[in-house]
Amino acid sequence: MALEFPTGPRMTLGLALRSEAIRLSRSPIAAAHLACGLAGGLACGAYFATSRWDPLMGSDAFAQFLGALMPLMSGVVCGLATDEERAAGDLFNLTAAPSRGRAVAAKWLALCLMGVVALALAFGLFAAAMAAAGRLPLGIAPLALATALALLGSLPLYALGLAVALRAGRNAAIALGAAGTLVAFFSVGGLAHGLMTGELTGALPGPLSLLPPAWPARLGSLGIEAFIDPGVALLPLVWTALAAAALAAASTAALVAWFGRFEGGRSDA
């Protein structure tokens, strides 16, 4: 007669993500995302709705600004989330899970979802302010596309930020994110360069535009510029989006495979 051994519930990505959502909903990280989305959308929306700048170029500049902040935001939230895991039990929730790969994938996905909430809130409030002032000539479609593309460009950065935070500590992840934000701003010629010159700077080729930290700003900008001048912006949008999607898949797979052999790391560095 065969012996039967009781088994516990199988850990699925859905269950792991639900656990992450419950934990993060009680974390100040969630409130920080909401605050950033509210502040960015309201402040920039109020400014561009009442200024004399071309509303199309103003929307482009706003998309670049939000996208350029994503490397820093991803570094900060990955660092803080990892610190919370260490404080709660020295990463026990991740390293002692039945499937380490699913546990870290759920952490990455939960952080990305909070990022898209912040982006959607900021773009949504900006769109509402511009529409109320009658300064949204192309409707909300460009801003909706910019939101999706900025998130796509951010996905590899969350995977990298989480790996760096786990291995080298919170400060290393934040420093890497800050460097990425500088790269992003310079990749489009500096803050508001296109706004002042009238150039579609998201579509301009350059060595910095090939680097992943620049992709959230470039893709967010190209989401707007594709509606302003499709002939100029559409091809760079497609190639950059494909590169970002490929890197997101590769970096997430690498994170899951690496964390399966993870043996610790520094809490701060």
Per-residue model confidence as pLDDT tens digits over 109-153:
999 999 999 999 999 999 999 999 999 988 999 999 999 999 999
Q: Is pLDDT at 60 greater than 70 in this prediction? A: yes
Residue 59 lies in a domain: yes
d(CA 31, CA 204): 36
- Determine the pLDDT at residue 21: 78
Which of residues 12 and 215 earns the better pLDDT score?
A: 215
In the predicted model, what is the mean pLDDT of residues 156-163? 96
- Determine the pLDDT at residue 264: 62
- Determine the pLDDT at residue 269: 47
d(CA 221, CA 237): 9
pLDDT, one tens digit per residue, over 208-252 is 999 999 999 999 999 999 999 999 999 999 999 999 999 999 999
User: What's the pLDDT band for 15 if we cut at 50, 70, 90?
Assistant: confident
Residue 6 lies in a domain: no
Q: Three-class SS string for 102-125?
A: HHHHHHHHHHHHHHHHHHHHHHHH
Give the DSSP H/E element, type plus range, for residue 209. Answer: none
Residue 148 lies in a domain: yes
- Determine the pLDDT at residue 3: 42
Q: Is pLDDT at 8 greater than 50 in this prediction? A: no
Residue 9 lies in a domain: no
User: What's the pLDDT band for 2 if we cut at 50, 70, 90?
Assistant: very low
The average confidence (pLDDT) of the chain is 89
Residue 15 lies in a domain: no
pLDDT, one tens digit per residue, over 72-105 is 999 999 999 999 988 877 787 787 777 888 889 9
Residue 77 lies in a domain: yes
How many domains does one find in the chain? 1
- Determine the pLDDT at residue 266: 53
Residue 53 lies in a domain: yes
φ, ψ of residue 263 to 5 degrees: the values are -125, 15
CB of 165 within 8 A of CB of 173?
Answer: yes
Which of residues 179 and 11 earns the better pLDDT score?
A: 179
- Determine the pLDDT at residue 166: 93
Q: Is pLDDT at 7 greater than 50 in this prediction? A: no
DSSP classification of residue 213: G
Range of the domain at 49: 28-259
Residue 269 lies in a domain: no
- Determine the pLDDT at residue 5: 39
- Determine the pLDDT at residue 90: 79
Q: Three-class SS string for 39-100?
A: HHHHHHHHHHHHCCCCHHHHHHHHHHHHHHHHHHHHHHHHHHHHHHHHHHHCCHHHHCCCCH
Which of residues 12 and 102 earns the better pLDDT score?
A: 102
Report field, pTM of the whole predicted structure over 0.75: yes
- Determine the pLDDT at residue 267: 52
pLDDT, one tens digit per residue, over 162-207 is 999 999 999 999 999 999 999 999 999 887 888 888 899 999 888 9
